[in-house]
Amino acid sequence: MPEHESGDSIPHLSGYREAELDQAFAAISREVEASSAALATPEAVEAFRLQWLGRKQGRLKAISDAWLKSAPVEAKKLIGQRFNTLKAEIEQRLEHAEASTGSSALDSEAIDITLPGTRRKLGAEHPLIRTQNELIAIFARMGYSVGIGPEVETDYYNFESLNFPPGHPARDTQDTLVVSGQERKPLRDRLLMRTHTSPVQIHTMEEQPPPIRIVIPGKVHRNDAADATHSPIFHQLEGLCVDTNITFADLKGTLDHAMKELFGSSVRTRFFPSFFPFTEPSADVQISCPFCGGSGCRKCKYSGWIELLGCGMVDPSVFGFVQQKQPAYDPKKISGFAFGMGIDRIAMMKYGIGDVSLMYSGDLRFLEQFA
């Protein structure tokens, strides 16, 4: 046990001048030095700690009580400074002693490295993300890069610059969710939830001159009632290729190859005339039913074909909008094609998912099947 009982052997201060204080603290400091000189065992170190730093019985506490608390206000600062230096000195000696006897407080918390670790369950890629990544990889192998764009768009990017003029009937087919309270803004600046990924075509072209080969995956929103095949939030993959001498044959070859990569090399494609305001000519693409090979089954409604995406040659008037920022998109010099597909539909086909809402349910029993 400590030689000093608390308080009883704290000498009285002879005065509060600096020289007197220095002398008094120096005497204590010599005591600290002496009592820390031969600390050879963890027990001795602990005794030293208690002797000086013990909360109730410690000598430092006694010094504080005897010298600091009762000191006149003018002297408190001078004593306080010396007190802090003394405390730091004690702590330093304690640390040294702990280190050299291996009695650090950390010892009691030491980890048994032979125990097995805590296992964390590995997550699995969501089927939507997996499908999205597969599609991106297919196009990356053909030299496409990946872009993204905002989910909240202006009317200009979602519609006008894609050649849907105000009041155009094709706007109605998109069941747009608009941000409220925008009536005082000009129509082109009003905000809405993008109804397709096509506006990112415009952003991309405004940012970089041709040539461009890019795919753009992302979330889109429509005011659709949810059922087994519709969700008000779904995902699309947009594609855009612009260069000199790009033709419809390039479009057909690219998409035919992509579908073969996605569903297997025996899959065939066919193109039907269609309409999109931002492409001319436009086409819908069907693939031969990957479930029955084209002979007809329930999945393809006994037609042997499944419609999967829209595409077309970029309409010159779209280049016209882009030229306001990037003059290099001169439709006399360059041409391009674009396409858009629903990632959810493709994921459902690839993984045999019967209800789109499962992909948005967060139900682990569903997700664990993809682990």
Pick the closer one to ligand DAH by CB: 103 or 198. Answer: 198
d(CA 50, CA 2): 8
Nearest to 157 by CA among 205, 98, 88: 205
Spatial separation of the C-alpha atoms in residues 94 and 167, rounded to whole Å: 82
Residues that bind ligand DAH (CB under 6 A): 196, 198, 238, 276, 279, 310-312, 338-340
CB neighbour list of residue 302: distance below 8 Å, 6 or more residues apart: 296
Q: Write down the least CB distance from residue 325 to ligand DAH, Å.
A: 20
Measured in residues, the chain has a length of 371
Going by C-beta distance under 8 Å and a sequence separation of 6 or more, which residues neighbour residue 359? 126, 127, 128, 231, 344, 347, 348, 353, 366
- Smallest separation (angstroms) from ligand DAH to the CB of 114: 58
CA atoms of 135 and 126, how far apart (whole Å): 14
Q: What is the dihedral of CA 350, 356, 357, 360, to 10 degrees?
A: 50
Q: Shortest approach of ligand DAH to residue 195 CB, angstroms?
A: 7
Query: 59 Cβ partners below 8 Å, 6+ apart?
Result: 2, 4, 6, 10, 51, 52
Query: Environment class of residue 272 by beta-carbon count within 10 Å: exposed (0-12), middle (13-18) or buried (19+)?
Result: exposed
Which CB, 146 or 364, lies closer to ligand DAH? 146
Q: Min. distance of Cβ 283 from ligand DAH in angstroms?
A: 8
Q: DSSP 3-state assignment of 244?
A: coil
- Which CB sits closer to ligand DAH, 58 or 336? 336
Q: 269 and 305 in contact (C-beta within 8 Å)?
A: no
Complex with ligand DAH: residue 35 or 163, whichever CB lies closer: 163
Residue with smallest beta-carbon separation from ligand DAH: 340
- The distance of closest approach from Cβ of residue 298 to ligand DAH in the complex, given in angstroms and rounded to an integer, is 25
Helices of type H across the chain: 18-35, 42-53, 59-63, 73-101, 127-140, 155-158, 199-207, 248-263, 316-323, 343-351, 364-367
Indicate the residue among 75 and 215 with the shorter CB distance to ligand DAH.
215
Which CB sits closer to ligand DAH, 311 or 353? 311
Residue 274: CB minimum distance to ligand DAH, A: 8
Identify which of residues 31 and 280 has a Cβ nearer to ligand DAH in the complex.
Answer: 280
Q: What is the DSSP string of 81-113?
A: HHHHHHHHHHHHHHHHHHHHHT--GGGGG---T
Nearer to ligand DAH, 98 or 315 (CB): 315
* Residue type at 333 in one-letter notation: K
CB of 181 to ligand DAH, least distance (A): 26
b/e burial code for range 109-146 (CB count within 10 A of at least 16 → b): eeeeeeeeeeeeeeeeebbbeebbeebbebbeeeebee
In angstroms, what is the minimal distance from the CB of 371 to ligand DAH?
32
Report the residue number, 62 or 214, with the smaller CB distance to ligand DAH.
214
Nearer residue to ligand DAH within complex by CB, 200 or 262: 200
Q: Least distance from C-beta 341 to ligand DAH, angstroms?
A: 8
CB of 156 to ligand DAH, least distance (A): 16
